[in-house]
Amino acid sequence: MKKVYSLQIQYPEQMREFDSHLTKTGRRSLSHSISHSSTDSNSSGGSDAEDLEDEVCPRDMQQMNSKGTRDFCIKNIKLADFGRREIELAEDEMTALMALRKAAQGEKPLAAAKIVGCTHVTAQTAVLFETLKVLGAQCRWAACNIYSTQDEVAAALAEQDFPVFAWKGESEDDFWWCIDRCVNVEDWEPNMILDDGGDMTHWIYKKNPHLFKKVKGIVEESITGIHRLHHLSKAGKLCVPAINVNDSVTKQKFDNLYCCRESILDSLKKTADIMFGGKQVAVCGYGEVGKGCSAALKAMGSVVYVTETDPICALQACMDGFRLVKLGDVVRQVDMVITCTGNKNVVVREHMDLMKNGCVVCNMGRSNTEIDVNSLRTPELVWLHVRAQVDHIVWPDGKRIVLLAEGRVLNLSSSTVPIYVLSITATTQALALIELFNAPEGRYKKDVYLLPKKLDEYVASLHLQTFDARLTELTDEQAKYMGLSKNGPFKPSYYRY
Known binding site for NAD(+): residues? Answer: 287-292, 308, 411
How many helical (H) and strand (E) elements, i.e. helices and strands, does the chain have? Answer: 20, 15
Q: Which domains does the chain show, CATH number per domain?
A: 60-247+418-462 (3.40.50.1480), 257-414 (3.40.50.720)
Give the mean model confidence (pLDDT) for residues 367-373.
89
Least confident of 7-16, 283-292, 455-464: 7-16
Binding site residue list = 122, 196, 221, 251, 255, 287-292, 308, 411
Residue 18 confidence (pLDDT) above 50:
no
- Paired residues of 138 in beta bridges: 114
User: Side by side, which strands form the sheet with 400-404?
Assistant: 323-324, 303-307, 280-284, 336-339, 360-363, 400-404, 390-394, 382-387
pLDDT of residue 398 exceeding 70, the answer is: yes
Beta partners for 282? 305, 337
Instruction: Report DSSP state, residue 183.
Output: H
Question: Could you tell me where the beta strands, DSSP code E, fall in 234-366?
Answer: 242-244, 280-284, 303-307, 323-324, 336-339, 360-363
What is d(CA 338, CA 360) in angstroms, rounded to the nearest whole number?
8
pLDDT of residue 467: 84
What average pLDDT does range 175-204 have in this prediction?
Answer: 96
Annotated binding site for substrate: 122, 196, 221, 251, 255
Q: What pLDDT score does 104 carry?
A: 75
Q: Check whether 290 has a pLDDT greater than 90.
A: yes
- pLDDT above 90 as % of the chain: 71
Q: Is the pLDDT of residue 165 over 90?
A: yes
Which residue type, as a one-letter code, is found at position 29?
Answer: S
What value does the mean pLDDT take over residues 363-379? 91
Q: Is 188 exposed, middle or buried (0-12, 13-18, 19+ CB in 10 A)?
A: middle
Q: Do 152 and 80 contact (CB within 8 A), yes or no?
A: yes
What is the pLDDT confidence band of residue 413, given thresholds at 50, 70 and 90? confident
- Do 420 and 463 form a contact (C-beta atoms < 8 A)? yes
- Concatenated DSSP letters of 387-421: ETTEEEEE-TTS-EEEEEGGGSBHHHHHS---HHH
Across the range 181-208, mean pLDDT stands at: 95
- Most distant CA pair in the chain: distance in Å? 74
pLDDT at 5: 40
* Cα end-to-end span (Å), the chain: 17
Asked whether the whole model's pTM tops 0.85, one would answer no
Confidence tier at 25 by pLDDT (50, 70, 90):
very low
Give the pLDDT of residue 54: 60
d(CA 297, CA 322): 11
- Statement: residue 468 has pLDDT above 90: no
Ranges of H-type helices in 65-134: 80-93, 95-103, 123-134
**For the chain, what is the mean pLDDT?**
87
Q: Which residues pair with 112 in a beta bridge?
A: none
pLDDT at position 107: 85
The alpha helices in 214-310, defined as continuous H runs, are 223-234, 249-250, 259-272, 288-299
Q: What is the mean pLDDT of residues 214-219?
A: 96
Lowest-pLDDT range of 14-18, 123-127, 218-222, 393-397: 14-18
pLDDT in tens, 122-156: 999 999 999 999 999 999 999 998 888 999 999 99
Q: Is the pLDDT of residue 260 over 70?
A: yes
> What does the alpha-carbon distance between residue 84 and residue 239 come to, in Å, rounded to a whole number?
38
